[in-house]
């Protein structure tokens, strides 16, 4: 029996895709229609499944078993008593799987998923039993299927639970959670929603939201966060001229990240600047605070006052650049992914230092070995990118022991720089007072053209703030639970050049 792997998200319980298992090709688009039935050891009633067109309305049936239950059609069992739903039954139900024949769920796992009032405190939402409290020999006593809802009762349940205790699960949850922890982490962040962009592609779909809508309407906030997940950048306009405004924008997402710059900070041209950002010269592409172990994920810059001459903001998509490098030569990508580069800040009473890979893969990507193998047809490598770390102004000494390693790193970085700085990759915006940009600090690189300072500290003035990844993802999940999520894509999208 082949292993099982889900490729659809929690909302993608609608069809089966067969890539290697050809015996079911004739039933590819069939959906089972049946009435709710109860199946147990006493009557051993079996579902009557009829295949029909997928548009036909009706209830769909799923069956399961344990060691003490007779086998209905389409179900097998393992010696350990796990529940095995074969491809015929999954195909009838319409579950989205890829090239595999079965879904196996252990009764212990099914019991652990229970979220009833006895299992999960409905106020704190904390689990009220431990997984290790479940007896090893727990079995399914009865199972009832009503539409997409499955009710289980148990033999040898957790001690202290009532004999009639029920576990009620949705089939979409059984399917969506039937993945390992790396895949689950991948699906619950933002990797499957990325769209890699060049300047023209971003300009055609750039998210610009009004401040009042962003602050007062959850739907506007949701669409902004989804745009950030998709492109890594969005703008808020008509922002009040107040030092508090950037805080108000950030707090709509989550708590601010505190650094040695404070919760908020100002970007101005000042004499004897301790940071290159506080000068009036050209500032090349970079990311902020990479000398920290956990750099900020989101950066906000509110334009309070702009320069009359110069000072345009520049942005480019590092994920698109990395994807393009994959097209040219995988050895460059392997170097960027496998070699750690030191970043440091040693100034003004602070000494921060940390080494990151230039390209960090998700756990999913590392497990699948995409750092050394890239399927261009399915575009799986870029889908597994978790972050890019690029900040030449704060790069420390190279720590490579051989000339060949140094030259390899140099060649890979030179190609990355060339891709990043291609004119068709760079989105330029002369930010006006009342505009605030929000961007993914570990995806979108930012830069600035030189400007005429005038009176130092009084001409160009931006207010900034940072947020971590977790508050962003938390707010996004909450709002998508309430208003609906975007469809999950197995592979990131890279528009044709």
More confident residue, 186 or 17: 186
Q: Is residue 238 part of a domain?
A: yes
Tell me: the pLDDT tens digits for 366-421?
544 444 444 443 344 545 789 999 999 999 998 877 889 999 999 999 999 999 99
| Chain mean pLDDT for the chain | 75
Please check the confidence at residue 472 and state whether its pLDDT lies above 90.
yes
**What is the mean predicted confidence (pLDDT) over 198-204?**
97
Of the given ranges (132-141, 157-166, 379-388), which has the lowest mean pLDDT? Answer: 379-388
What is the token pair recorded at 410? 């140099």
Q: Which of these three, 131, 149, 179, is where a domain ends?
A: 179
Examine the fold and report which residue of 120, 148, 179 is the final residue of a domain before the chain moves on. 179
Domain endpoint, select from 118, 153, 179? 179
Q: Could you tell me the two tokens for 401?
A: 């022991």
Residue 22 has pLDDT above 80, yes or no: no
Helix (H, G, I), strand (E, B) or coil at 255: coil
Q: Which two tokens stand for residue 216?
A: 């007062």
pTM score of the predicted model = 0.70
Question: Between 466 and 33, whose confidence is greater?
Answer: 466
Sign of the Cα torsion 469, 428, 210, 462 reads positive
- Rounded CA gap, 495 and 497, in Å? 6
Cα atoms found within 13 Å of the Cα of residue 362, Cβ hemisphere only: 22
**CATH number, residue 237:** 3.60.130.10
Asked if 64 and 47 touch (Cβ cutoff 8 Å), the reply is no
Q: Report which of 287, 324, 315 is spatially closest to residue 202, judged by C-alpha positions.
A: 315
Average of per-residue pLDDT across 108-120:
92
Say whether both 170 and 258 belong to one domain. Answer: no
Q: What CATH number should be reported for the domain holding residue 51? A: 3.30.2020.30
Question: Looking up tokens 């919760």, which residue turns up?
Answer: 263
Distance CA 267, CA 280 (A): 10
Distances (CA, A) of 435 to 265, 364, 438: 16, 37, 10
Question: 493 in a domain, yes or no?
Answer: no
Tally the domains of the chain.
2
Q: Are residues 125 and 203 in the same domain?
A: no
Q: What are phi and psi of 66, to 5 degrees?
A: -135, -175
Please tell me the least confidently modeled range out of 20-34, 65-79, 338-352. Answer: 20-34
209 and 139 co-located in one domain: no
Residue 11 has pLDDT above 50, yes or no: no
- Model confidence at 362: pLDDT above 90: no
Query: What pLDDT, on a 0 to 100 scale, did the predictor assign at position 60?
Result: 29
403, 468: one domain: yes
**Does one domain contain both 27 and 58?**
yes
Collapsed DSSP state (helix, strand, coil) of residue 365: helix
Q: How do residues 484-495 score in pLDDT, each as one tens digit?
A: 877 555 445 665
Q: Is the pLDDT of residue 434 over 90?
A: yes
User: In angstroms, rounded to a whole number, what is the distance separating the alpha carbons of residues 87 and 100?
Assistant: 7
Q: Which domain holds residue 256?
A: 195-483
Asked if residue 12 belongs to a domain, the reply is no
Within this chain, do residues 355 and 324 fall inside the same structural domain, yes or no?
yes
Least confident of 75-84, 264-273, 386-395: 75-84
């Amino acid at each position: 029996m082949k292993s099982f792997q889900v490729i659809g998200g929690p909302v993608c319980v609608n069809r089966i895709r067969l890539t290697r298992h050809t015996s079911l090709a004739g039933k590819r688009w069939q959906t089972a229609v049946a009435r709710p039935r109860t199946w147990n050891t006493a009557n051993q009633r079996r579902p009557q499944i009829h295949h029909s067109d997928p548009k036909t309305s009706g209830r769909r049936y799923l069956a399961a078993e344990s060691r003490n239950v007779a086998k209905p059609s389409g179900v097998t069992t393992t010696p350990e008593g796990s529940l095995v739903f074969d491809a015929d039954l999954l195909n009838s139900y319409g579950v989205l799987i890829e090239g595999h024949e079965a879904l196996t769920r252990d009764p212990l796992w099914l019991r652990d998923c229970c979220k009833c009032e006895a299992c999960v405190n409905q106020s704190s939402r904390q689990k009220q039993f431990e997984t290790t409290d479940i007896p090893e020999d727990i079995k399914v006593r009865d199972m009832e299927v009503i539409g997409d809802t499955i009710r289980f009762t148990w033999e040898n349940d957790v001690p202290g639970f009532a004999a009639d205790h029920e576990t009620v699960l949705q089939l979409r949850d059984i399917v969506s959670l039937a993945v390992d922890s790396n895949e689950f982490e991948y699906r619950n962040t933002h990797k499957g929603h990325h769209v890699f962009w060049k300047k023209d592609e971003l300009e055609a779909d750039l998210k610009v939201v009004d401040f009042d809508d962003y602050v007062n309407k959850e739907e506007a906030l949701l669409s902004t966060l989804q745009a950030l997940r998709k492109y890594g950048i969005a703008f808020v306009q008509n922002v009040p001229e107040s030092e508090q405004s950037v805080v108000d924008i950030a707090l709509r997402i989550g708590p601010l990240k505190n650094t040695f710059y404070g919760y908020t900070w100002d970007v101005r041209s000042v004499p004897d600047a301790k940071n290159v950002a506080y000068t009036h010269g050209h500032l090349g592409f970079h990311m902020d605070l990479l000398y920290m172990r956990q750099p900020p994920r989101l950066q906000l810059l509110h334009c309070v006052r702009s320069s009359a001459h110069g000072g345009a903001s520049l942005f480019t998509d590092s994920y698109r650049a990395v994807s393009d490098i994959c097209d040219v030569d995988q050895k460059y990508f392997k170097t960027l992914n496998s070699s750690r580069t030191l970043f440091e800040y040693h100034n003004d009473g602070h000494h921060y230092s940390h080494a990151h890979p230039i390209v960090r893969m998700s756990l999913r990507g590392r497990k699948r070995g995409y750092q050394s193998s890239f399927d261009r047809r399915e575009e799986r490598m870029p889908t597994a990118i978790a972050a890019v770390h690029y900040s030449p102004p704060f790069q420390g000494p190279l720590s490579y022991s051989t000339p060949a390693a140094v030259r390899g790193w140099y060649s890979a970085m030179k190609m990355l720089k060339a891709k990043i700085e291609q004119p068709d990759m760079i989105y330029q915006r002369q930010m006006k007072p009342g505009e605030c940009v929000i961007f993914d600090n570990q995806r979108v690189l930012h830069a600035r053209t030189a400007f005429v300072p005038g009176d130092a500290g009084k001409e160009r003035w931006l207010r900034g703030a940072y947020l971590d990844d977790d508050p962003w993802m938390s707010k996004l999940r909450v709002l998508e639970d309430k208003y609906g999520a975007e469809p999950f894509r197995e592979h990131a999208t890279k528009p044709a050049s």
